[in-house]
Structure 1
Amino acid sequence: MGVDSDDGDFSTGSRGGNGMTIGAAPIPDDVLAMIAEGRHGDPHVVLGGHPYDGGVTVRVLKPLADAVVVRFSGGDVSLVHEAHGIWVGVLPVPEVPDYRVVVNYADGVAHELDDPYRFLPTVSDLDLYLFGEGRHEELWRALGARTMTIGEVSGTAFAVWAPNARAVRLKSESNGWDGREHPMRQLGTSGVWELFVPGIGMGAHYKYAILSAAGEWLERADPMASWAEVPPATASRVHTSSYVWGDEAWLVRRAKKQAIHEPMSIYEVHLGSWRRGLSYEQLADQLVAHVRETGFTHVELMPVMQHPFGGSWGYHVTGYYAPDSRFGDPDGLRLLIDRLHQADIGVILDWVPGHFATDEWALARFDGEPLYEDPNPQRGWHKEWGSHIFNFGRHEVRNFLVANALHWLEEFHADGLRVDGVASMLYLDYSREDGEWSPNAYGGRENLEAVALLQELTATAYRRNPGTTIIAEESTAWPGVTKPTDHGGLGFGFKWNMGWMHDTLEYVSHDPIHRSYHHHEMTFAAMYGWSENYVLPLSHDEVVHGKGSILSKVPGDRWRQLATARALYGFMWAFPGKQLLFMGSEFAQESEWAESRELDWWLLDLPDHRGVLSALSDLNARYRETPALWAWEDDPRTFSWIDGDAAGHNVFSFVRRSSDSDDASQLVCVSNFAAMPHHGFRLGLPHTGVWEEIVNTDATQYAGSGVGNLGRIEAVAGEHNGQPARADISIPPLATVWFRARG
C-alpha cells in the first residue's frame, strides 16, 4: 500500500532495519517531517544522493509509492520507507553516480524518473547578486521556467522570487499537481527558490504552492512565466522560443535612426476586436495587409501582456512576461511583429508599469505579504483603477519592471513602448484627497522612486536597443518628460499631447457657425508645441464609454461629419507632432468602440466611408514623402502660421519647412472648418511660383464635393499675412488642402 497524505500530514509507515538502513546518513525525524510537509527551505540537503560512510545515501520523497528502486550502472537498489513518505537506501559507491528512480504505485506500472534533487542550482551567484541590486537587465534568463539540458538530461529549471515564504513547492502535470513531490530550495538570503526538474518540457503547465509566514498554502502563477493558459484558466506554461526571425534588415536600419527624425503615423489596435477570433498568425496576414493599404508607419498594440479580464483591454496585467494566450503562443506574436517589420511597419507595445491586477493567483500579496505592491496603502493602492501600485523603491521590483521592458524590446523586437498612466506614477497625490497621501522625503508630491525607475528604464532601453523609443502617456505639465536623463529629464522619446487632443475634439464638436468662437482651441498647441516631443493622439480612450466615435462627435448630417473627419486628419497630419489614430477611425467608424465586438467593416462597402479610408491612405503617402512634416520635428523653425487668426472664416493656414529653410522642401497646409467654400481666398505664401495641390480632402474620389484649384496655384509677388508672395485660391468646405512648391 502506498503512503498517503492529507495536506502534508503523512502517515509514518514502517522503517527498515532498526529504523534506519545500515550506512545511511542519519536525519532527525523532525527534519524529515519538515521536508515532507514542505516546510524545509533546502530539501536538497536531505533528498537526492549524498556521500556518507563509504557509500551514497539516497533519499526520495514519494508519498504515494508502493515501492521505490534506485537504478544505476551498478544495478538496482531497493529503498525502504523511512518516514513521512520519504524512502531511503545506500548505493555501494563512494561518489554520487548518474542514477534514476523507479517508482511503483497502485497502478502496477513501474515509472522510471530522474531525480531533481541530484542537480546543482541553475541560478548563479552573479544572477542573485544583480537581482538583489536591481541591476539584472536580462532577468528573464535567470527566473521563471527555462528549458535546458544539463549533461545529457533535458528538463526545465524553475526559479521564483518569494522572500517572505517559509517554503515553495512546484505543482505541475509531471507530479499530478501534487506539489509534495517537488519542494524547492531557497538560494541563500536572496528570496529566490529554485528547482530543476528533468523531463518537463515545452508546453507543460505549472504553478507554485507557497507557504506564507502565516502558515497558509497559497497557489500562484509564475510572475516570470513566458506563456500562460487561456483565461479563465490560470496556470503558467513552459515555453522556449524556436522562432527564426526574418527582420534583420529592419533592425539594422532602425539602429541607425532616431524616431524623432523619422515619419511616424501610428495605427492603434486592440487585437481582440479589430476582427474577432483571429490568431496571431491570421493577424499577420490580415492586419499587415490593412496597415500596408492605409500607409501607417507604425502599429501600436494595446497591451498584449497576459490579463484575465478582456474588458480591462489589457491594462490590468497578471503575466508581465507572457503574451496574451488568447491569440496563440509567444512565437505567434513574434511572427506578427516580424511580418510587420518585413512590411516596413514599426511596432509599439502598450506597457503598464504603474499598477497591476488584484487577482489572488497572480502578483497580489504574492508570498502572503505585500511584495510587488507598495506596503503603504497610500502608495500601494490605486483608487481610480482599483488595482495595486508597484513598490517602485524596492530593488527587485524595479528590476522586474525594467527587465520586463527590455524583454519586450529584445525578445519580441518591439520598436517602442507606450508607457500607460505615467502621471499616476509621478505624483503621490494622484487621484487622492488631502490626508490620503504622504509626501516624499523632501515634503513634495513627486514620487521620487517612480521618477528614478522611469529614468533608468529609458536610459537602459536606449543604450541596449538603439533606434527604439519610449512614449509617455502623461497628461500634466511635468517638466522634461522628453528631456534626456543626463539633463535631468525623464528620457522619454515622445509624450502624448493630451491637451491638443482635448482642444481639437472640443473644437470639431461645435457646429461650424459657432467654431469662430473657439478658433484658438485649434491654435493653442502651437504655443507649447516644442516644449516636448509630442504625439497627437486620437486614441481608444476618446471613442468609448459614451464618448462616441470621432464621426459622432461632429454635428450635422452624414456628409458634414465625414467631410469634417477628412479635414481633421488633413490638419492633424500636417500639424507638428507625430500622429496616432485608433482603429476604425480610418474609415469613420459610426458607433463607438466596444471590445466585445469587431469593427464595423461593412462600412467600407459604402463609397463615402471608403472615401475616408482613401483620403487617409493618401495623407499617409504624402506624409511619408514630405520630410518637412517629420524630419526636423524637434525644431520650432520648421513651423510657422501663415494665418492662425482667420476665425471669421474658420480657416487655419501654416507652413512646414526643413530646418535649412530650403524652398523646395516647404509645404503649406490650409484647413477650412466652415461648411461653405471660400473662393478667391487670398493666401500668403513663402515664395512665388507654382505650388502643387498634393492633398485635397474634398476631392471627389474621397466622396467630397470636388472644389479645388485644378491641382495647382501660382503665387505672385506681393506681401500678405507676412509672407512675400500671395495667391487667390479656392478652399473647399470642411476640407484641408496641402500645397507643395514645385521643384
Structure 2
Amino acid sequence: MKSTNNTLKILEIDPWLKPFEGDLNLRMDKYNHTKEALVGKNGDFKSFANGHLFYGFHLVEDGWYYREWAPEADALYLIGDFNDWNPETHPLEKKEGYWEIFLPGVEALKHLSRVKVRVEANGISRDRIPLYIRRTAQDPVTHDFAGQIWMPEASFKWTDQTFSADNAKPLLIYEAHIGMAQEKEGIGSFKEFTENVLPRIKANGYTAVQLMAVMNHPYYASFGYHVSNFFAVSSWFGTPDDLKELIDTAHSMGIVVLMDIVHSHAVKNIAEGINEFDGTDYQFFHGGGRGNHSAWDSKLFNYGKYEVIHFLLSNIKFWMDEYHFDGFRFDGITSMIYHDNGLGTAFDNYEKYFSMNTDIDALNYLQLANELIREIRPDAITIAEDMSGMPGMCLPVRDGGIGFDYRLAMGIPDFWINTLSKCSDENWSMWKLWHELTTGRPQEKKIGYAESHDQALVGDKTIIFWLADKEMYWNMSKHQQNLQVSRAIDLHKMIRFSTITLSGDGYLNFMGNEFGHPEWIDFPREGNNWSYKYARRQWSLAENKDLRYDYLYQFDKEMLAFVKEHNLVGSNNLQSLWIDEQDKLLAYKKNDLIFLFNFNPTNSFPEFALPTGESGEYKVIFSSDDEIFGGQSRISQDVVYSTRTLPERGNNTGILIYSPSRTALVLQKI
C-alpha cells in the first residue's frame, strides 16, 4: 500500500500531514494486517463478502437450508406459519461457528411464509427476526414484525446488463425518499416512484438518484436511519421486485442509482432488529456504554470484530449483486470514525484527526468497504457524509486514503443557512462566499449542494422558507407582486447557480427543493396527530403555470442543461476576476465563460467594469433575470460587448456591462 519510496502519496498531496506520518502508517499497517487476516495475501474481498449466500434461507434442489450466526446462544428454533409457530418441532443444530437446520422438500417453506427464530440465551427466550432475512411483514392487527420468505415463482428479469455508471458525465444527484415522493397524504411506493418520479428526474436533467430509507426500518419517521434488518428491503414501500423494477427502469433512462447505506449504527430495538440477537450486547456492537450513541439513541458497531466486518461487507455486496445499485452514500461517517462520535468537537486543526479520539478500526472498515466495491464494479460510486473533513477521505486506499470518490461538502449548506439566518442582505460577505464554495482538500472530489434533506426537516428551514417565510402561503401567484417573494425567487436562483458552478465535482438536490417546495418535512407522529400532510411532495405547485414555483422549476432545468453543455461541474479551470465586498459583486471565469453575480439588494450598475482577462467580443448566453425564470428581462442576450482598457481596474482589459440587482449572468467570447 506504500509507494516505492516508502512514503505514502497522501503526504505528497497534502504536506500539512507530514507531522502525522506515524499515524498514517499505523492506519495503513493495521489495514494491511486486517486485510491479510480476512482474505489472505492473495485473496479478494469479492470471495470473502458472501455471508448472504451462506446464512439465511436458501432453497436447494430437495429442500431449504436455514443458517444463523449466534455464537453465544444456547438454542435456536425455527418458527413460523409453516409449523403453526411451534417452537419444539424445528430446532437448529449447532455447527462449528453457526447454527443450521434443513427442511426437506421445496414446499417446506412457501413464498410469503412468515418466519421467526426463537433464541434461547442466558435463561431468556426471545422470538427474533432472522439476521439475513430479505423481507419483513407487519401484522395489521398487532403491528408486530416478522420475517417473510420471498421466493416468487417467476424471478425478476433484469434488462440492464449493458448499463454502467459513466464517470465522465457530471454527477447531478436527485436525493429522494420513496415514501414522501408522492402528493397524496400517505406513504408512496416503489411502483409510484417508478411511474411518477423517475420521468421527472430524467426530464429535469439529473444523472443520478440517491434513494433514502431503502434498508428496513420499523419506525417510518426515522427517515430510514434506524435500520433493523440490513438485508431486507423496506416493507413500507413495496416488494423486493418493485425495487428491482425501479432500478432497472432508472438504468433504462441512463440514470445512476445510489443507495443511502447506514453502516454507522443500528436501531436498538430487540424485537425488530439485530441488537442482542444471541443474548449478548457485544455480538455486533461494542459492549457496555461504548455501544450506545447518546444523541441518536442507537447501537454502535464494533468494526474491529472480523465477524462484524464480514456481516457489513456482505451487506454491501448483497445490495450491489441482488439489486444492481451503482454505488452508495455512506451515512454518518463522522460518528463512525471518532470515539466521541464527533459530538461537540470542532475540527479546527489536524491534530483532531489523529488523536486518541480517532477510531482506526472504523477507518479501516471504510477502506475495506471501498476496496470491495471497486472489486465488484470499478465504475461504482461512493460518497462520504463526513462533516469533520478527515484528510484523505477521497483519496485511494493505496495512497493512504480511505477510498471514497466524493465527500459531501457539508460546510456549504451550513454557510448558506448561516448567511440567510444571521446576516442582513447588505452584510453578505462575497469573500466568505468565494472561500466556502471553492475551498476543498487537495485532489479530493466533493459534492456541492445548497441544501439537502437535513435542511428540510422540521426544526430547520429550507432556503426558500428562510427567504420567503409565511409569504409563501399567500403571495406565490404570478399575478400579484410581493417584494419578499420576489427577493426569495431571485436569491434562490443565485444561490443554486453559484453553488453548482463553483462548489464541486458533483451537485446534489433534495426532491422538491428545486422548485422551492414550501414548508418543512414532518413525518407522521403523535405530535401532529399522525398526519402525512408535511411528509409528501406537492408536484402540482411546480406544474401550476400561475404560481411562481414554475419559475424556479424552469430555472433548475435550464441550469442543469447549461452546466452539462459547458462541462462546468467537475472542472477545476476556475479563476477569480473580481470580488467586491462593498458593492456585493462577484465575478469569475470558468471553462472560458465569465460569470457575474450581483448580490446587492438595491443597487444596479449601468456600466460595471468587468475584467475579462483577455480582449475580444462577448455576449450574454445565460441570465437568471429572464422572464421565464421570474426575472425582469433587464439583461440583453443580443448586445455584443467589446473589450477596452479599464482605468478603474488598473488598466486591465474588460468590458462595461449592465449588472442589475440580484441577478447572475454568464458571458461567452464570440
**What's the TM-score bracket when you normalise by the shorter of the two chains?**
0.7 to 0.9
Task: Give CA deviations for 1:361-404 in whole Å, capped at 9, x if unaligned.
Answer: 22111111124443433431110100000111111111111121
Shift of 1:487: 1.2
Residue identity in the other structure for 2:294: K
Query: How far apart are the structure 1 equivalents of 2:639 and 2:308?
Result: 60
Shift of 1:197: 4.7
Deviates further, 278-287 or 725-734: 725-734
Q: 1:431 to 1:496 in 2, by over 3 A?
A: closer
Task: Look up the SS of the partner of 1:619 in the other structure.
Answer: helix
Q: If the length of structure 2 is used for normalisation, what is the TM-score?
A: 0.82
Q: 1:686 to 1:341 in 2, by over 3 A?
A: farther
Task: Look up the SS of the partner of 2:145 in the other structure.
Answer: coil
Residue identity in the other structure for 1:397: V
Task: Give CA deviations for 1:6-57 in whole Å, capped at 9, x if unaligned.
Answer: xxxxxxxxxxxxxxxxxxxxxxxxxxxxxxxxxxxxxxxxxxxxxxxxxxxx
Task: Give CA deviations for 1:490-549 in whole Å, capped at 9, x if unaligned.
Answer: 111111111122112322446664334564244334243646311123111112232122
1:320-335 matches, cutoff 5 A: 320-335=230-245
Task: Give CA deviations for 1:207-255 in whole Å, capped at 9, x if unaligned.
Answer: 111111x12211111221111114743111122471111222322xx3x
Relative to total residues, which structure has the larger strand share, 1 or 2?
1
Corresponding residue for residue 300 of structure 1:
210
Residue identity in the other structure for 2:323: F
Corresponding residue for residue 227 of structure 2:
317
Q: 1:338 to 1:678 in 2, by over 3 A?
A: farther
Task: Select 1:603's aligned residue among 510, 532, 541.
Answer: 541
Structure 2 residue 509 is matched with structure 1 residue 581 = yes
Task: Select 1:646's aligned residue among 577, 580, 590.
Answer: 580
Task: Look up the SS of the partner of 2:457 in the other structure.
Answer: coil
Task: Look up the SS of the partner of 1:182 in the other structure.
Answer: coil
Matched-pair identity in %: 23
Count of matched residue pairs? 581
Query: How far apart are the structure 2 equivalents of 1:266 and 1:639?
Result: 22
Task: Select 1:207's aligned residue among 104, 108, 116.
Answer: 116
Query: How far apart are the structure 1 equivalents of 2:282 and 2:622?
Result: 55
User: Over the residues paired in the alignment, what is the CA RMSD in angstroms?
Assistant: 2.6
Structure 2 residue 567 is matched with structure 1 residue 656 = no
Q: 1:194 to 1:691 in 2, by over 3 A?
A: farther
Structure 2 residue 376 is matched with structure 1 residue 464 = yes
Query: How far apart are the structure 1 equivalents of 2:639 and 2:373?
Result: 46
Q: 1:574 to 1:375 in 2, by over 3 A?
A: closer
Q: 1:410 to 1:735 in 2, by over 3 A?
A: farther
Task: Look up the SS of the partner of 1:640 in the other structure.
Answer: strand
Residue identity in the other structure for 1:217: S
Task: Look up the SS of the partner of 1:248 in the other structure.
Answer: coil
Query: How far apart are the structure 2 equivalents of 1:623 and 1:707?
Result: 22
Residue identity in the other structure for 2:641: E
Task: Select 2:596's aligned residue among 661, 670, 677.
Answer: 670
Corresponding residue for residue 515 of structure 1:
427
Task: Look up the SS of the partner of 2:132 in the other structure.
Answer: coil
Query: How far apart are the structure 1 equivalents of 2:651 and 2:566?
Result: 21
Task: Look up the SS of the partner of 2:507 in the other structure.
Answer: strand
Task: Select 2:658's aligned residue among 730, 733, 737.
Answer: 730
Task: Give CA deviations for 1:400-448 in whole Å, capped at 9, x if unaligned.
Answer: 11121222222211122111110111111225699xxxxx9x9711111
1:552-631 matches, cutoff 5 A: 552-554=465-467, 557-577=484-504, 578-595=506-523, 596=532, 597-604=535-542, 605=544, 606-630=546-570
Task: Look up the SS of the partner of 1:455 in the other structure.
Answer: helix
Note if contact 2:467-2:488 (Cα within 8 Å) is conserved in structure 1. Answer: yes
1:84-483 matches, cutoff 5 A: 136-149=48-61, 153=62, 155-188=63-96, 190-198=97-105, 199=107, 200-212=109-121, 214-230=122-138, 232-240=143-151, 242-251=155-164, 254=165, 257-258=166-167, 261-275=168-182, 276-361=186-271, 362-430=273-341, 444-483=356-395
Note if contact 1:690-1:712 (Cα within 8 Å) is conserved in structure 2. Answer: no
Shift of 1:593: 1.9
Q: 1:142 to 1:344 in 2, by over 3 A?
A: same
Query: How far apart are the structure 2 equivalents of 1:722 and 1:390?
Result: 60
Task: Look up the SS of the partner of 1:737 in the other structure.
Answer: strand
Note the residue ranges of structure 1 that are not aligned, 5 or more in a row.
1-128, 435-439, 658-665
Note if contact 1:423-1:476 (Cα within 8 Å) is conserved in structure 2. Answer: yes
Higher relative contact order (CA 8 A, sep 6+): 2
Query: How far apart are the structure 2 equivalents of 1:741 and 1:243?
Result: 52
Corresponding residue for residue 90 of structure 1:
none
Q: 1:536 to 1:385 in 2, by over 3 A?
A: same
Note if contact 2:611-2:653 (Cα within 8 Å) is conserved in structure 1. Answer: yes
Task: Select 1:504's aligned residue among 416, 419, 423.
Answer: 416
Query: How far apart are the structure 2 equivalents of 1:647 and 1:624?
Result: 30
Task: Select 2:436's aligned residue among 513, 524, 548.
Answer: 524
Note if contact 2:448-2:500 (Cα within 8 Å) is conserved in structure 1. Answer: no
Query: How far apart are the structure 1 equivalents of 2:177 and 2:332?
Result: 18
Residue identity in the other structure for 1:560: R
Query: How far apart are the structure 2 equivalents of 1:648 and 1:682?
Result: 15
Corresponding residue for residue 461 of structure 2:
548
Q: 1:393 to 1:723 in 2, by over 3 A?
A: farther
Q: 1:458 to 1:712 in 2, by over 3 A?
A: farther
Query: How far apart are the structure 1 equivalents of 2:177 and 2:569?
Result: 28
Corresponding residue for residue 10 of structure 2:
none
Residue identity in the other structure for 1:583: M
Higher Cα radius of gyration: 1
Task: Give CA deviations for 1:248-268 in whole Å, capped at 9, x if unaligned.
Answer: 2322xx3xx43xx43111111
Note if contact 1:146-1:240 (Cα within 8 Å) is conserved in structure 2. Answer: no
Task: Select 2:630's aligned residue among 681, 703, 708.
Answer: 703
Query: How far apart are the structure 1 equivalents of 2:80 and 2:642?
Result: 76
Q: 1:264 to 1:642 in 2, by over 3 A?
A: same
Task: Give CA deviations for 1:558-615 in whole Å, capped at 9, x if unaligned.
Answer: 1111111111111112113121111121111121122333123342224311110000
Shift of 1:339: 1.0
Residue identity in the other structure for 2:662: L
Task: Look up the SS of the partner of 2:622 in the other structure.
Answer: strand
Q: 1:722 to 1:329 in 2, by over 3 A?
A: farther
Query: How far apart are the structure 2 equivalents of 1:584 and 1:554?
Result: 16
Corresponding residue for residue 5 of structure 1:
none
Query: How far apart are the structure 1 equivalents of 2:305 and 2:650?
Result: 57
Task: Look up the SS of the partner of 2:548 in the other structure.
Answer: helix
Note if contact 1:227-1:239 (Cα within 8 Å) is conserved in structure 2. Answer: yes
Task: Look up the SS of the partner of 1:671 in the other structure.
Answer: strand
Corresponding residue for residue 18 of structure 1:
none
Query: How far apart are the structure 2 equivalents of 1:347 and 1:136?
Result: 25
Note if contact 2:286-2:301 (Cα within 8 Å) is conserved in structure 1. Answer: no
Residue identity in the other structure for 2:518: E
Query: How far apart are the structure 2 equivalents of 1:197 and 1:612?
Result: 61
Deviates further, 377-386 or 508-517: 508-517
Task: Give CA deviations for 1:163-220 in whole Å, capped at 9, x if unaligned.
Answer: 11111111111101112111111222x13434345311322211111111x1221111
Query: How far apart are the structure 2 equivalents of 1:567 and 1:465?
Result: 37
Task: Look up the SS of the partner of 2:227 in the other structure.
Answer: coil
Task: Look up the SS of the partner of 1:274 in the other structure.
Answer: coil
Note if contact 1:424-1:430 (Cα within 8 Å) is conserved in structure 2. Answer: yes
Note the residue ranges of structure 2 that are not aligned, 5 or more in a row.
1-37, 346-351, 469-482, 524-531
